[in-house]
Amino acid sequence: MDALAYGVTRRVLLPVTSVLALLLVWEAAVRALDLAPFVLPAPSRVAQAAVRTADVLPAHVATTLAEAVLGLLLGAVAGTLLALGVVLRPRVGDALEPLVLLTQTVPTVVLAPLLILWAGFGLLPKVLLVALTVFFPVFVSATSAMRSADTDLLDVVAGLGGHARDQLVIVRLPGAVTGAVAGLRVAATYTVGAAVVAEYLAGQSGLGVFIQRSRKAYAVDQILVGVIAVALLTALLVGAVGLIERAATPWRPRAASTPASSRHLTSEIP
Amino acid sequence: MTTFPGTDRHDRRGGVLAEADRLTVGVRGGTGPTILDDVALSVRAGEFVAVVGPSGCGKSTLLRAMAGLLPPSLVASGGARIDVATGGGRRDVAWMPQRDGLLPWRRAWSNALLGARIAGRDVAASEVRAAELFERFGLAGAERRWPHELSGGMRRRLALLRTVLADRRLLLLDEPFSGLDALTRRRMNSWLSDLDLVGTSTRGSAVVLVTHDVDEAVLLADRVLVMSGPPGRVVDSVATRKGGDGQARRRLLELLGV
Ligand SMILES: Nc1ncnc2c1ncn2[C@@H]1O[C@H](COP(=O)(O)OP(=O)(O)OP(=O)(O)O)[C@@H](O)[C@H]1O
Ligand SMILES: [Mg+2]
């Protein structure tokens, strides 16, 4: 019981208190300094804006969520497959390695204008941008997990009469899954942001479009509504990836399986 | 060639399962020290051979050489000869590492069947045998657990079970019970001596057990090879009567200089 109460205090009570305190200070400061709403609206005004836009917002959220999820899946699959190819065919790996490193030096959002130029104004360029953002961390961590497979385990397989193929299937591939999922967890935090940046440039729907329109109307309260929606969506995705990670690695001791940050995020999502 | 005579009374089938001669192992590239120096040994079917020696004298390296698992940084010299029984185009050997080497993402049951799977044994038959061995190894009820949910002693027994279940003729065990507390270790040893590992295979098998515990060696083995080093050399071979032999024990302690 005590442990449960302690957990509730730490995970629910304390965070909620600090958020409420921040909102109160914000509200009080805006009123005391009499700030104009187009500079910084009070939280109460932001809440009103959220209610006002409640009928258009879901469509924008749905668009951005679809882009983020599709991109996440596409990038994860592509990253894992290429990692497998590189490890299975070391020569391909040697040839691709510098290219991959080179492309890593370009932040993917920088490519957004190019993708829009090539793939039009619809969903596709945004999905591609998210996929590119996800691809690299997944590829890099899956590759290194397979390469740096525990030599003790490789030796065990060989010591029982296994060949390189057995080592691959029994030791390296499970390592690829754990590596890919770890990369996915890193990537998940960027996905919604990448989709929104692409939407800033072009598009008819999405949180990026919503924020851009609000900016043109000087509706700072609506911009903040959009920002909060982006934050919540990101938390949702990170939480979902955390669940996937747990499902993909059921063998891990619980405490060590999710780092503190994502555990908090998942526990705060209703 | 200097092989040490086996104790014939334990020699059930006669065949030599492993034989090494002029086995010299050094660091690749010729730099660094010699790790094994002109080692010769032969292991016959039906034998339980222990290898004792001080830490760092090359026991694990000797076992790895027999298993064909020398790390890339080590190399056997040109004149070295090491013959190991083969079956189905592979070394007929199952090696158990000094650390247990269990796959963390497989449950105990699946870890146990790893050797049998790699060896291409009949799955149904292996599972029947596995169920029987789980019972005998005191692991019944732990089949569905993950390795991290097992105690140190259980992990070692599971690793040993996996090695036995591969059904190879030559078992190479590298300090199967090192790192366990004295009490657990003693229990493991008396249990292992009851187990009759040499008799577990249907085809006449042998065990090579590395240890630096003289009592363990005397209790379990028919014959004890004493190593010194580095560089690792086999300095003597002492026959023991199974189940405790005071005279052999004294001789071994004397050879090891303790
Ligand atoms: N890969 C390697 N490269 C270079 N030297 C090595 C390598 N492996 C082992 N050695 C050296 O070979 C010697 C023998 O090592 P080995 O592990 O065989 O000893 P051991 O008798 O098993 O010791 P312990 O009882 O502590 O397990 C040691 O001096 C070690 O430093
Ligand atoms: Mg050793």
Per-residue pLDDT tens for B176-207? 888 777 777 777 777 777 776 666 565 678 88
The answer as to whether A262 is a domain residue is no
For residue A29, tell me if it sits in a domain: yes
Q: Are B209 and B51 in contact (CB under 8 A)?
A: yes
Q: β-pairing, B206-210 with B223-228?
A: unpaired
- A220 assigned to some structural domain: yes
Same domain, A1 and A81: no
Q: What is the pLDDT of residue A170?
A: 92
Binary contact (A155, B94; C-beta < 8 A): no
Asked if A192 and A224 sit in the same domain, the reply is yes
| CA-to-CA separations, A18 to A12, A40, A211, A225, in angstroms, rounded | 10, 20, 27, 20
In chain B, helix, strand, coil percent, each to 5? 35, 25, 40
Ligand 2 centroid to Cα of residue B35, in Å, is 12
B194: exposed, middle or buried (C-beta count within 10 Å: 0-12, 13-18, 19+)?
exposed
Helix (H, G, I), strand (E, B) or coil at B230: coil
Q: Are residues A24 and A73 in the same domain?
A: no
Are A246 and A116 members of one domain?
Answer: yes
Are residues A127 and A69 part of one domain?
yes
What CATH number should be reported for the domain holding residue A204? 1.10.3720.10
Strand runs labelled E in chain B = 16-27, 34-44, 48-52, 74-76, 81-84, 86-87, 90-91, 93-96, 170-174, 206-210, 223-228, 233-239
> Which of B52, B60, B228 is the best mutation target for the ligand 1 pocket, counting ligand atoms within 8 Å of the beta carbon and taking the most?
B60
Enumerate residue ranges in chain B where pLDDT < 70: 1-14, 196-203, 242-244
Residue nearest to atom 25 of ligand 1 (CA): B55
Measured between beta carbons, the chain A residues lying within 8 angstroms of B119 are: 160-161
Residue A226: φ, ψ to 5°: -60, -40
* End-to-end CA, chain B: 30
Which ligand 1 atom lies nearest to the CA of residue B27?
4
A14 and A64 part of one domain: no
B84-126 pLDDT per residue, tens: 877 777 788 899 998 889 999 999 999 999 988 888 888 898 8
Supply the pLDDT for residue A194.
Answer: 92
Q: Are strands B74-76 and B206-210 parallel, antiparallel or unpaired?
A: unpaired
Rounded distance, CA A169 to CA A197, Å?
A: 40
Q: Which of A146, A151, A153, A156 to mutate to test the interface with B (most CBs of B within 10 A)?
A: A156
If asked whether residues A81 and A20 sit together in one domain, one would say no
Number of neighbouring beta carbons within 10 Å of residue A18: 10
CB atoms within 10 A of CB B170: 23
ipTM surpasses cut 0.90: no
Quick one: A56 and A25 in the same domain?
no
Could you tell me the distance, in angstroms and rounded to a whole number, from the CA of residue B56 to the centre of ligand 2? Answer: 7
In a domain, A260, yes or no: no
pLDDT of residue A1: 56
Q: Does residue A30 fall inside a structural domain?
A: yes
A95 within domain boundaries: yes
What's the domain count of chain A?
A: 2
pLDDT of residue B133: 86
Name residues of chain A where pLDDT drops below 50. 256-270
Q: Residue B67: list chain A partners with CB under 8 A.
A: 158-159
Contact B217, B59 (CB under 8 A): no
Look at residue A268 and tell me if it is in a domain: no
CB-ligand 1 contact for B136 (6 Å cutoff): no
Domain coverage including residue A170: 38-251
Distance B89 CA to ligand 2 centre (A): 28
For residues A29 and A141, state if they share a domain: no
- In this complex, how many residue pairs, one in chain A and one in chain B, have their CB atoms less than 8 Å apart? 67
Indicate whether A186 belongs to any domain: yes
Q: How far is the C-alpha of A83 from the C-alpha of B83, rounded, in Å?
A: 39
Q: Are residues A26 and A51 in the same domain?
A: no
- On whether both A233 and A111 belong to a single domain, the answer is yes
A215 shares a domain with A230: yes
Minimum distance, in Å, between the CA of residue B116 and any CA atom of chain A? 9
B101 with A152: Cβ contact below 8 A: yes
Q: How far is the CA of A154 from the centre of ligand 1 (A)?
A: 19
pLDDT of residue A255: 60
> Are residues A170 and B95, on separate chains, in Cβ contact within 8 Å?
no
Closest partner CB to B105 (pick from A155, A159, A251): A251
